[in-house]
Structure 1
Amino acid sequence: MSKRDYYEVLGVDKNASADDIKKAYRQAARKLHPDVNKAADAEDQFKEAKEAYDVLSDDQKRSTYDRHGHVDPNQGFGGGADFNGGGFGDIFDMFFGGGGRQRDPNAPQRGNDLQYSMTIEFKEAIFGKETDITIPRTEDCDTCHGNGAKPGTKPETCTTCKGSGQQEVVQNTAFGRMVNRRVCSTCSGRGQVIKDRCNTCHGSGKVKKQRKIHVKIPAGVDEGAQLRISGEGEPGTRGGPAGDLYIVLRVKAHEFFEREGDDVYCEVPLTFAQAALGDEIEIPTLTEKVKLKIPAGTQTGTYFRLKGKGVPRLRGYGQGDQHVKAVLVTPTNLTEEQKEMLLQFGGSINDTTHSNHQSIFDRLKKAFLGD
């Protein structure tokens, strides 16, 4: 396939200045670099832009191109660059800063964060608790103190990269001399090599240990809450700070209460007589039992609010409320006497005689609630 015009590739005209060409290439490099653009043809377009820039940024090559256009690569330029040797990294360094690639391999590095899932009881989430947990984590080897070398020895500076952690590979191309930087194959980017490895950690400088940590769970936490314990993650390397430990809380369901935010909900069963005649019943709350007055004629599904009997507010003062739902329970296994009274009640429900009405209610109350 014939090559596109280099000016067209970079989107500039033939009178473009060197600065315009450089600016156009920088924009193309940012847009098309394979580390940024994941399109299937991004790499090919990037190579095309790089080839165009290599020619148009060189006064002599640009002059030749302007006179003769594309020529055979063996005659001077036009596709002779080798992009399979890692050249992308150097171009990326040039236009994107390359800070990560130039980082000192021996500089202190922060340790990794850890995550731990912890299951607690419903009321432990409400009122908080203190407990100890044991977590597995990587720590510095006690034998070599984290440097990976056998006691009495120490790591040595890598002779291949001179401690930089990177190798330079020089390539002579049709465009001139190109220098590619790669992770050092001898020390794997560490900048140091260990000749006599520690027998405990086998040169890694790290070992797996079980660590006990004291945890304070604040009152009012809920399902999915995350606690951060600073400095209890993986240790840093070369004197860097440790990471953090994140504890994700899972809360068990309660057999009686359900929670919505700072409020709790529950259901209490009422007999027909209690709902119809009214009553005073004992209700469990999160901390104690309280009396709740049920007015006569209460319908099933009615809610009663117990102010301040909910969850302590995690960020703020006071507590939520408790909401009590009345649920009418239909009696089963009735005796013959109870069935007869219900039949009488059903037959007299429209009876307007107050005395007779009161008499039936009294008998119902006696039958279902006792004296």
Structure 2
Amino acid sequence: MRTTMLGPGQFQMHQVDVCDDCPNVTFEPVERTLEVEVEKGMADGQSYPFPSEGEVHVDGDHGDLTFRIRLQKHKLFHRRGDDLYTNVTISLLESLVGYHIALTHLDGHQVVLKSSKVTAPFTIVHKPGEGMPNHDRPTKFGSLYVTILVEYPTDRQLTDAERISLSQLFPDPNIKLNEEPIPARAFNGLDRLNVRSS
């Protein structure tokens, strides 16, 4: 049996059937076109069966034909169960004064991300109900998790006056400009993972 893909969700099969016109049991090829309906929320590895559309057994009965769903990788979104994961990049200024951006979802609708607070790099914004639909319960959706990346300017150097102004805006008693180095502060990214619901 040979199966040929004609287009998205459409396959052509070259199948064999018992030929009743011959005195002995022989087989003749038969072409059939089957359509696979990919339902909302179907997961990678999920099966789509066609009963009695498979190989013909010696006794003349047909086996079943089963298609297995394989998800293509998306350039922006990653799926885990019914949840989606992606990331967006904001400027250093936006990370300090706030941001208001729109993210285009898989179906084309806009997901608005907004904050007026200081946003640390790798902050994760949680958007409930913006994930994939659940296959068994199509009205239930997973969540969307957006990791915020901060792009730092690399094409310029701050003047002494700008450095002083920033030091006054964000005072840190442990940091003194143009003096001896201070001890490094340990950082464990897993323990300090910043998740923000929106």
TM-score, length-scaled by structure 2:
0.71
Q: Which has the larger strand fraction?
A: 2
| Change over 3 Å in CA distance of 1:351–1:261 after alignment to 2 | closer
**Cα separation, 2, equivalents of 1:351 and 1:206:** 84
Contact 1:115 1:245 in 2 (8 A): no
Q: Secondary structure at the match of 1:331?
A: coil
Contact 1:274 1:294 in 2 (8 A): no
**Cα separation, 2, equivalents of 1:211 and 1:268:** 46
| Change over 3 Å in CA distance of 1:351–1:314 after alignment to 2 | closer
C-alpha deviation, 1:207, in angstroms: 3.7
1:333 corresponding residue in structure 2: 155
**Cα separation, 1, equivalents of 2:133 and 2:37:** 16
Contact 1:286 1:310 in 2 (8 A): no
1:264 corresponding residue in structure 2: 84
1:234 partnered with 2:55: yes
Amino acid in structure 1 at the alignment position of 2:118: G
Q: What are the residue-to-residue correspondences of 1:336-351 with 2, within 5 Å?
A: 339-340=158-159, 343-348=163-168, 349-350=170-171
| Change over 3 Å in CA distance of 1:116–1:263 after alignment to 2 | farther
C-alpha deviation, 1:344, in angstroms: 3.8
Q: Which has the larger helix fraction?
A: 1
Q: Secondary structure at the match of 2:148?
A: strand
C-alpha deviation, 1:351, in angstroms: 8.4
Larger radius of gyration: 1
Query: Sequence identity, in percent?
Result: 22
2:69 corresponding residue in structure 1: 249
Which digits, 9 at most, give the CA deviation of each residue in 1:275-333, with x for residues without a partner?
A: 11112111222331132112321111211122211111011241111111111122222
Across the aligned residues of Structure 1 and Structure 2, the Cα RMSD in angstroms comes to 3.0
Long gaps (5+) in structure 2: 174-198
1:131 corresponding residue in structure 2: 9
Amino acid in structure 2 at the alignment position of 1:217: V
TM-score, length-scaled by structure 1:
0.40
C-alpha deviation, 1:347, in angstroms: 4.1
Q: Secondary structure at the match of 2:94?
A: helix
1:323 partnered with 2:145: yes
Amino acid in structure 1 at the alignment position of 2:12: T
Q: Secondary structure at the match of 1:216?
A: coil
Which digits, 9 at most, give the CA deviation of each residue in 1:235-265, with x for residues without a partner?
A: 3555x43211110121111010000000101
**Cα separation, 2, equivalents of 1:269 and 1:291:** 14
Amino acid in structure 1 at the alignment position of 2:16: T
Contact 1:115 1:246 in 2 (8 A): no
